[in-house]
Amino acid sequence: EAGVVQSPRYKIIEKKQPVAFWCNPISGHNTLYWYLQNLGQGPELLIRYENEEAVDDSQLPKDRFSAERLKGVDSTLKIQPAELGDSAVYLCASSLSLGMNTGELFFGEGSRLTVL
């Protein structure tokens, strides 16, 4: 069974440019997460989807970040315009829906963004 697939794995852009990351979760997983991982830190939740609904986007900087999961399967995370401080690894994860309690999250390998 395929795991969580993310692309691109690496992206280098100039500041103020836009960038988009794509994620395909494990088949059958209704819950999808985008996490931000800074160097030497733990992952921090940006947004969580239950099917196509964003149920927790409280930590998403909405002035420059946006996300969508239109058909409740794959998802795109966009940054426009990118800033130097956005350099990080963007992790996508998926899980079976377990109501209010999170079970095991399955992570992709991440998309490493470098903003110059």
Partner 1 sequence: QQQVKQSPQSLIVQKGGISIINCAYENTAFDYFPWYQQFPGKGPALLIAIRPDVSEKKEGRFTISFNKSAKQFSLHIMDSQPGDSATYFCAASSYKLIFGSGTRLLVRP
Binding mask 21-60 for partner 1 (x = CB under 8 A): -------------------xxxxxx--x-------x----
Q: How many residues bind partner 1 (CB under 8 A)?
A: 22
In this structure, are strands 106-107 and 88-95 parallel, antiparallel, or unpaired? antiparallel
With binding defined as CB under 8 A, does residue 101 bind partner 1? yes
Distance (Å, whole) CA 103 – CA 51: 16
Q: Determine which residue in the list 67, 77, 82, 91 makes contact with partner 1, applying CB under 8 A.
A: 91
Query: Please, what is the minimum distance in Å from the beta carbon of residue 16 to partner 1?
Result: 28
Closer Cβ to partner 1, 81 or 112, answer by number: 112
With binding defined as CB under 8 A, does residue 100 bind partner 1? yes
Which stretches of the chain bind partner 1, using CB under 8 A? 4, 40-45, 48, 56, 91, 93, 100-110
